[in-house]
């Protein structure tokens, strides 16, 4: 985390916001139980017939991935209680079933709209942007009403909110009012008449319901997404296997060469639709995005997201200074011994070995934390397996490599074969242990 603490209240809110987007996933046990992780779409046959409006709302809830954040490990769907670890304590998602006391059973459509579009509770309290209302504000009135109709069908499950363990003064919701006045822009999505309906639909899904920027955009020192660097790559904290809180970097999603520049529409589409593409395989925190959300969307909607992403202008993320020659030499040696058998000396990999690291967005992400995680712990693929990959799975190296070796090989793959990104230090690696 590079947050400054000089502006106390603000940076605290920032951190809550910044790290609050985390989803516990790192291993199957940390993820919502499989049953809970199944989006409502799958549970359809067991449910009473839904009205057309509620059916639409159920689909929108899948696109917004409400279930992933609002279901605790082993908990009932939508009853909340999932922990979002932050540097300033832990914030928990809330019960959004129809229970009158502990859920949102008493909320009117207007109350619900205010929460989704303005981040305000019926009693006027501000919500933390760990709940991505900064994206959901783009929802149309019609879609908010459909979501509300679906929420009404969820049944009432009593599940009292877990008390956040944010320290004073971080626990002061009133401070969010200040943050909002500085950074929050309320407003429904405005279609760009110069662009096709498909691109506009993709933009609505990516920027609005899909809240992709919550993880994929850098934040300023007050934790607000940087408007001028949207989708150029971000970081967030996530609870891992042993309960350790680890940083992850989400890649640059613009058309820059360090982002999705080398991906065609088909590759982006396949990745979001199946988790497997010729460019990369889904792993880590993206598992829940793909498995619980994008995979379940219609072919047209996924394609629209891919077409939209393919035309986001190239913009480089800020990844720091280049590595030294010495480090690159060390990195080449480590690469030859540890990585070259699968990713090949050319970095190009093959269909049956490792994927290409040439132009890899994960390798070149502004923050190297995901690259470090994959080297130390191996890529955590979706469980149960979501696709059969012809490739040999990558193994973890945490026990076999020193921090300086991991740093050197990471710097090497970030700066070879035309790749370009900042150096990784042994201290960066130590933080991910
Ligand atoms: C990235 C995680 C995340 C996603 C995705 C998410 N939420 Fe939440 N939501 C939260 C958290 C965390 C809170 C608690 C915020 C707080 O306490 O200030 C919350 C709070 C809420 C609240 C306010 C409840 C209350 O009691 O005050 C509502 C309503 C809500 N979410 C609905 C939804 C809906 C509907 C969706 C899907 C369209 C959704 N959320 C998706 C994390 C998420
Ligand atoms: C919870 C945080 C989070 C959210 C929300 C999120 N992503 Fe990601 N995304 C990541 C991380 C972390 C990675 C890095 C690799 C990984 O974990 O698979 C990533 C990687 C990717 C990649 C590149 C994969 C690669 O290997 O180069 C694409 C494409 C992508 N995300 C698209 C999206 C889209 C589209 C959305 C919105 C629907 C989205 N992501 C929402 C965290 C997130
Ligand atoms: C046994 C073969 C194998 C070895 C050895 C190996 N990898 Fe991998 N690597 C893979 C596979 C396969 C994937 C795709 C995910 C999966 O299916 O496990 C992958 C994925 C990756 C990715 C993610 C690429 C992307 O764009 O999503 C990176 C980065 C990476 N490996 C780096 C390395 C580095 C650095 C080393 C050496 C320290 C290494 N790998 C060693 C097989 C291997």
Shared domain for 38 and 187, answered yes or no, is: yes
Per residue in 149-187, pLDDT (tens digit) is 999 999 999 999 999 988 776 788 888 898 899 999 999
Q: Comparing 326 with 24, which gets the higher pLDDT? A: 326
Evaluate if residue 422 carries a pLDDT over 60. Answer: yes
The whole domain housing 377 covers: 325-431
Please indicate, yes or no, if residue 299 is contained in any of the structural domains: yes
Closest of 252, 246, 249 to residue 360, by C-alpha:
252
Per residue in 60-71, pLDDT (tens digit) is 999 999 999 999
Ligand 3 centroid–CA 371 distance in Å is 10
Shared domain for 247 and 368, answered yes or no, is: no
Shared domain for 277 and 363, answered yes or no, is: no
- Return the minimum-mean-pLDDT range out of 59-73, 82-96, 127-141, 342-356: 82-96
Which tokens is 222 given? 């007050």
Distance CA 167, CA 184 (A): 24
Evaluate if residue 80 carries a pLDDT over 60. Answer: yes
CA distances from residue 192 to 202, 210, 231 in whole angstroms, order as listed: 12, 18, 18
Per residue in 348-404, pLDDT (tens digit) is 999 899 999 999 999 999 999 999 999 999 999 998 888 888 888 899 999 999 999
Pocket test for ligand 3, best of 260, 271, 330, 339 (most atoms within 8 A of CB): 339
pLDDT at 87: 67
CA distances from residue 343 to 21, 352, 362 in whole angstroms, order as listed: 32, 10, 14
Q: Do 292 and 255 meet the contact criterion of CB atoms below 8 Å apart? A: no
Beta carbon of 84 within 6 Å of any ligand 1 atom? yes
Please indicate, yes or no, if residue 53 is contained in any of the structural domains: yes
Shared domain for 297 and 157, answered yes or no, is: yes
Please indicate, yes or no, if residue 162 is contained in any of the structural domains: yes
Per residue in 261-287, pLDDT (tens digit) is 999 999 999 999 999 998 999 999 999
pLDDT at 221: 66
Evaluate if residue 197 carries a pLDDT over 50. Answer: yes
The residue among 310, 337, 365 that closes a domain is 310
The residue among 310, 344, 366 that closes a domain is 310
Q: Do 189 and 139 meet the contact criterion of CB atoms below 8 Å apart? A: yes
Distance CA 253, CA 255 (A): 7
Shared domain for 169 and 249, answered yes or no, is: yes
Distance CA 388, CA 322 (A): 37
Shared domain for 298 and 329, answered yes or no, is: no
Shared domain for 242 and 156, answered yes or no, is: yes
For atom 36 of ligand 3, which residue has the closest CA? Answer: 339
Please indicate, yes or no, if residue 315 is contained in any of the structural domains: no
Per residue in 305-351, pLDDT (tens digit) is 999 999 999 999 999 999 999 999 999 999 999 999 999 999 999 98
The residue among 283, 310, 337 that closes a domain is 310
| Structural domain count of the chain | 2
pLDDT at 241: 65
HSE at residue 368, side-chain half, CA atoms within 13 A, is 31
Percent of the chain with pLDDT strictly greater than 90: 75
Mean pLDDT of 65-82: 95
Shared domain for 236 and 278, answered yes or no, is: yes
Please indicate, yes or no, if residue 423 is contained in any of the structural domains: yes
Per residue in 217-262, pLDDT (tens digit) is 998 766 778 989 999 999 998 887 677 889 999 999 999 999 999 9
Evaluate if residue 410 carries a pLDDT over 60. Answer: yes
Shared domain for 373 and 266, answered yes or no, is: no
pLDDT at 38: 43
pLDDT at 47: 59
Shared domain for 349 and 401, answered yes or no, is: yes
Please indicate, yes or no, if residue 18 is contained in any of the structural domains: yes
Please indicate, yes or no, if residue 319 is contained in any of the structural domains: no
Beta carbon of 397 within 6 Å of any ligand 3 atom? yes
Q: Which atom of ligand 3 is nearest to the CA of 392?
A: 12
Shared domain for 161 and 137, answered yes or no, is: yes
Beta carbon of 379 within 6 Å of any ligand 3 atom? yes
Q: Do 217 and 226 meet the contact criterion of CB atoms below 8 Å apart? A: yes
Shared domain for 233 and 358, answered yes or no, is: no
Evaluate if residue 104 carries a pLDDT over 80. Answer: yes
Please indicate, yes or no, if residue 110 is contained in any of the structural domains: yes
What CATH number corresponds to the domain at position 352? 1.10.760.10
């Amino acid at each position: 985390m590079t947050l400054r603490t000089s502006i106390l209240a603000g940076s605290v809110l920032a951190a809550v916001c910044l790290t609050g987007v985390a989803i516990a996933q790192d291993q199957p046990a940390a993820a919502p139980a499989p049953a809970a992780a199944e989006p409502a779409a799958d549970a359809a046959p067991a449910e009473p017939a839904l009205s057309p409006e509620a059916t639409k709302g159920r689909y929108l809830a899948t696109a917004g991935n409400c279930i992933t954040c609002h279901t605790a490990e082993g908990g009932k769907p939508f009853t909340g209680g999932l922990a979002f670890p932050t540097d300033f304590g832990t914030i928990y998602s809330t019960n959004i079933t129809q229970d009158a006391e502990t859920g949102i059973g008493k909320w009117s459509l207007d109350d619900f709209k205010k929460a989704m579009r303005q981040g305000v509770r019926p009693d006027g309290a501000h919500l933390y942007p760990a709940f991505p209302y900064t994206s959901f504000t783009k929802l149309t009135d019609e879609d908010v009403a459909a979501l509300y109709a679906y929420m009404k069908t969820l049944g009432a499950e009593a599940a009292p909110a877990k008390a956040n363990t944010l320290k004073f003064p971080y626990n002061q919701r009133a401070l969010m009012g200040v943050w909002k006045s500085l950074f929050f822009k309320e407003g429904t999505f405005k279609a760009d008449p110069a662009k096709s309906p498909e691109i506009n639909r993709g933009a609505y899904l990516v920027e609005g319901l899909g809240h992709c920027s919550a993880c994929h955009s850098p934040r300023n020192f007050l934790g607000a997404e940087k408007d001028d660097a949207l989708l150029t790559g971000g970081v967030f904290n996530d609870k891992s296997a042993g309960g350790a809180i680890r940083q992850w970097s989400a890649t640059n999603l613009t058309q820059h060469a360090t982002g999705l520049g080398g991906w065609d529409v088909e590759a982006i589409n396949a990745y979001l639709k199946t988790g497997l593409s010729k460019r990369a395989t889904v792993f880590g925190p993206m598992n829940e995005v793909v498995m619980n959300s994008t995979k379940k969307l219609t072919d047209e909607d996924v394609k629209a997201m891919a077409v939209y992403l393919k035309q986001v202008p190239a913009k480089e993320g800020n990844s720091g200074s280049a590595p030294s020659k010495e480090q690159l030499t060390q990195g080449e040696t480590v690469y030859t011994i540890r990585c070259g058998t699968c990713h090949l000396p050319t970095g190009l990999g093959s269909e049956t070995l490792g994927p290409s690291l040439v132009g890899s967005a994960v390798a070149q992400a502004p923050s190297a934390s995901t690259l470090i995680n994959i080297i130390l712990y191996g890529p955590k693929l979706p469980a149960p397996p979501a696709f059969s990959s012809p490739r040999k799975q990558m193994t973890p190296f945490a026990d076999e490599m020193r921090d300086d070796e991991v740093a050197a090989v990471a710097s090497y793959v970030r700066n070879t074969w035309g790749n370009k990104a900042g150096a990784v230090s042994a201290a960066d690696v130590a933080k991910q242990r």
